């Protein structure tokens, strides 16, 4: 029997399947079901900065009007109480989830600025979380705000959270950085223990009949795997952080690719919301079968075997691959 054990954020996990932040953690019965089906850890749904600071005008602007929304959302609603509990209730629920399951429970904070709300990182630690996932994303619309200024604000946020907790911290990032490897390195220097690649942000659409901006929620598909797969393969061995691949993990093949790229864990939400929590059991069984057939003894054995540092053609991850693929087509002018 192959050894599926892995480590993530200093936690020993029985396998690399982690339930990512989603409404599935809102209820104790579904949290228990996640564990029974085979999840090695659970990331709680996010507690938002706006909830804590009571910035109702920003909630109306960002959520009701549709500028952007967050990856954990299943519906578009300005009333976050329908999805997320109030801050103190969130902490109480986290404690109950922690008591209900024996697997690690990772708290989740979603915000973009330093301030009093960062104190909730400490409260999440006190509530019993095994680690903290910090989901940072901001939609810059100010033409006078530079990328360097925004990046520095992200780094300061990580430093501020780091001073409040001794918990391992993972950053859930977007891919929208000019130099992702450099920022990854700086995030680690600021205190991050892990990087989660990548968050998905649901973009608004236009209703041409009502002339309104409307939400357009699309769950991930296997095609979304390629972006985080590429960057984890590039970052593996280059930054001193654990790596989690999220977005696009739907099959055992996706999980295997994530491990070979260099991920410590593969995070799932969309496939569980689509096919049900028992999908985890099927994925674990298929994963074990493949490893047995291909004579892999452990996850540790395959991890990073297809990273940029390990493959025969490292340029396949870079611009050379783009040019090669373009030149592989025979174009005819009719």
The predicted-structure confidence for 31-76, as pLDDT tens digits, reads as follows 999 999 999 999 999 988 878 875 434 444 544 544 444 444 444 3
CA dist 80 and 203 (Å) reads: 18
Mean pLDDT, to the nearest integer, of 176-190? Answer: 96
Task: Give the whole-angstrom CA distance, residue 97 versus residue 257.
Answer: 31
Rg over CA atoms, the chain: 20
Whether omega before 198 lies within 30 degrees of 0, making that bond cis, reads yes
Q: Can you tell me which residue has the tokens 């228990």?
A: 32
pLDDT of 77 higher than 90: no
Structure tokens given for 289: 């079968």
What are the structural domain ranges in the chain?
A: 6-308
Q: Beta strands of the chain (E only): which ranges? A: 6-8, 11-13, 17-19, 41-43, 47-48, 105-110, 131-135, 169-173, 194-197, 205-207, 212-214, 242-246, 265-268
Flag whether pLDDT at 155 surpasses 70. Answer: yes
pLDDT, one tens digit per residue, over 97-134 is 999 999 999 999 988 878 778 889 999 999 999 999 99
Which pLDDT score is estimated for 117? 83
Angle at 265 between CA 259 and CA 271, to 5 degrees: 95
Model pLDDT, residue 324: 60
- Overall CATH class of domain 6-308: alpha beta
Rounded to the nearest 10 degrees, the angle between the axes of helix 252-261 and helix 226-235 is 30
Q: 177 phi and psi, to 5 degrees?
A: -125, 145
**pLDDT for residue 172 is more than 90:** yes
Closest CA to 21 of 135, 167, 157, 97: 135
Which pTM was predicted? 0.86
pLDDT of residue 50: 78
């Amino acid at each position: 029997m192959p050894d599926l054990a892995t480590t993530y954020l200093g936690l020993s996990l029985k396998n690399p399947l982690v339930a990512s932040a989603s409404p599935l953690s809102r209820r104790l019965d579904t949290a228990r079901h996640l564990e029974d089906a085979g999840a090695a850890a659970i990331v709680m749904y996010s507690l938002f900065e706006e909830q804590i600071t009571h910035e109702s005008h920003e909630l109306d602007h960002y959520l009701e009007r549709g500028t952007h929304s967050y990856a954990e959302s299943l519906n578009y609603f300005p009333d976050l109480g329908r999805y997320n509990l109030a801050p103190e209730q969130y902490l109480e629920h986290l404690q109950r989830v922690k008591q209900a399951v024996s697997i690690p429970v990772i708290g989740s904070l979603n915000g973009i600025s330093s301030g009093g709300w960062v104190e909730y990182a400490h409260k999440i630690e006190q509530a019993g979380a095994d680690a903290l996932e910090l989901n940072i994303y901001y939609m810059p619309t100010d033409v006078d705000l530079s990328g360097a200024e925004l990046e520095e604000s992200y780094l300061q946020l990580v430093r501020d959270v780091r001073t409040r907790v001794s918990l391992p911290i993972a950053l859930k990032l977007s891919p929208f950085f000019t130099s992702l490897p450099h920022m990854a390195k700086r995030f680690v220097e600021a205190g991050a223990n892990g990087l989660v690649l990548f968050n998905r942000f649901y973009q608004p659409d236009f209703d041409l009949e009502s002339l309104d901006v409307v939400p357009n929620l699309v769950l991930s598909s296997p095609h979304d795997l390629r972006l985080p797969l590429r960057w984890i393969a590039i970052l593996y061995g280059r930054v001193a952080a654990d790596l989690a691949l999220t977005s696009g993990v739907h099959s055992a093949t996706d999980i295997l690719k994530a491990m070979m790229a260099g991920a410590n864990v593969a995070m799932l939400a969309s496939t569980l919301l689509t096919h049900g929590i028992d999908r985890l059991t099927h994925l674990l069984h298929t994963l074990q079968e493949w490893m047995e057939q291909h004579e892999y003894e452990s996850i540790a054995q395959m991890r990073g075997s297809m990273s940029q540092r390990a493959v025969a053609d490292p340029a396949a991850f870079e611009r050379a691959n783009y040019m090669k693929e373009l030149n592989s087509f025979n174009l005819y002018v009719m």
